[in-house]
Amino acid sequence: MNRHFSILLLLVNLFFSASCFSHQYNLTFNRPQSTPQADYALELLKLAYADIGFKIYIIDFSHQNALLAANNGVLDGQLGRDVSVEKNYENLIRVDYELFKFDLVLYKNCLPSSLEQLDSVAIVDGYPVQEHYLANTQFAGNIIKVKSMNAQLNLLAQQKVQGALMINFIMQNNDLPSPQGCFVKEVLSTYPLYHYLNKRNENLVEKLIRDNHARILSMEQEFMIIEKTGHKEETQELLEFLRPYGLIEFVRSGRVSVIRPKTELHKEL
């Protein structure tokens, strides 16, 4: 009886051990907002993680709850967030290279003329950058949280709010209705976008930065510019990876050297 129990216990241990080992190289993130810029960034991150032996799994998850889930370790991190998340989500560690930049835009009635003069603004729940920006201004009006940018614009069109804070790269890639009347757009600030890992994956942060140096330098409606530093084999790998997306131009510089500090120039020549 004891012998049979020991064998059964061994099989159970092996089963759970195999299960754990089969998932040790997987990282789970929620699906980001689908835009061409975000899709490019996601593919670059998949390539970066593959280079260090990890595979990204994307799951559908409530955007409003994703930050809390990543902070609590339910998700392994967040694929695209600005630095405003660092204030309230202390378990998230920034991977410190930019994915790309975005503008925070105020879409408002023509009058009154400034954000501080508005009685109310609509923001999308789940994007802390909007609340963070308002908290650092003299805006004293009502803040209305909604679930989508369509809801923001509907409130604006119905004159239930006087303005809406919106993220430009999402605006550019969605067929949003245009409210009737006099409305203007004003760029309030520009932010870099990073991706974050839960602190239990802290050991990956330095490795990602060391092994992968690709970032998006500029985004336009029709194209984007990507920069990568590394050996020829590494830049060639990126070139082959990007070909299926429609490569317009590829430029590779020669080798670049920098003289070490405290070393006299004539000793290097």
For the chain, the domain total comes to 2
CATH, residue 158: 3.40.190.10
Q: pLDDT by residue (tens digit) across 60-109?
A: 988 889 999 999 999 999 988 999 999 899 999 998 878 888 899 999 88
- The answer to whether the pTM exceeds 0.85 is no
151 inside domain: yes
The stretches in the chain having pLDDT less than 50 are 1-24, 173, 265, 268
142 inside domain: yes
187 inside domain: yes
184 inside domain: yes
- Interatomic CA distance for residues 164 and 150, integer angstroms: 11
Mark which of 134, 158, 191 sits at the end of a domain: 191
Residue 149 shares a structural domain with residue 92: no
Mark which of 156, 191, 226 sits at the end of a domain: 191
Residue 115 shares a structural domain with residue 200: no
- Interatomic CA distance for residues 177 and 154, integer angstroms: 8
217 inside domain: no
176 inside domain: yes
**Domain span at residue 75?**
2-99+195-211
132-157 core/surface letters (b: 16 or more CB in 10 A; e: else): bbbeeeebebeebebeebebbbbbbe
Tokens of 59: 């799951």
